[in-house]
A and B are shown apart, each in its own frame.
Chain A
């Protein structure tokens, strides 16, 4: 079983929609989670991180961790065409950061 699993998509939504991106993780000891955004032909950039459980909000983006179900989510409100990218979830950990495979998102004007 992979440490972090993510639906590869692609996910296509109209502009202004609320987007929900999700990952599951295997080890309940994991506490530190991150979301990255990757535009085409670029390296991934850190978008948000969360520690333990609960929500963290940054503008239109909200990261959520549900430890009971080992589920991590990224919500994007009022999605924009500029949000079109691949989104990767990750868990932090000693010696190695582990990534999901990424979900490709397209926001259609």
Chain B
């Protein structure tokens, strides 16, 4: 069966510090991968998605970047965090078929102080 791992679960970082969140998927090949953010009291916002190694689409211009160095690994990064980067970050994967569900990791709660 497929599983998705996302870590860390919680993170407190000072303004201006770098960020690296990692997500890995097991039990499937060539998944579509996603990074979402939920700010407090806000909806689910798609940040990046990837259909293959090195292929990243950015949905919202911002202080973040994403990379996919391996087929089942997706990394969210920032060189300098802003207060507004605080939120709940979710990684997800979906299959490559036309009609397919997305499955989420348990999320990382990031607080920038």
Number of A-B contacts (CB under 8 A): 66
Number of residues of chain A lying within 8 A (CB) of chain B = 27
Contact A96 B32 (CB under 8 A): yes
Residue among A6, A45, A51, A96 making CB contact with B99, cutoff 8 Å: A51
Residue B103, interface by CB 8 Å: yes
Most B C-beta atoms less than 10 A away, residue of A96, A98, A102: A96
Q: Does B35 contact A (CB under 8 A)?
A: no
What string of 1s and 0s marks CB contacts (under 8 Å) between B76-113 and chain A? 00000000000010101010001111111111010000
Contact A41 B88 (CB under 8 A): yes
Residue positions of B touching A, CB distance < 8 A: 6, 32, 34, 36, 42-46, 49, 51, 88, 90, 92, 94, 98-107, 109
24 contacts between A and B (CB under 8 A): A8-B43, A32-B98, A32-B100, A41-B107, A43-B6, A43-B105, A43-B106, A43-B107, A44-B44, A44-B104, A49-B101, A88-B44, A92-B99, A92-B100, A93-B98, A94-B98, A96-B34, A97-B92, A98-B46, A99-B102, A101-B42, A101-B43, A101-B44, A101-B45
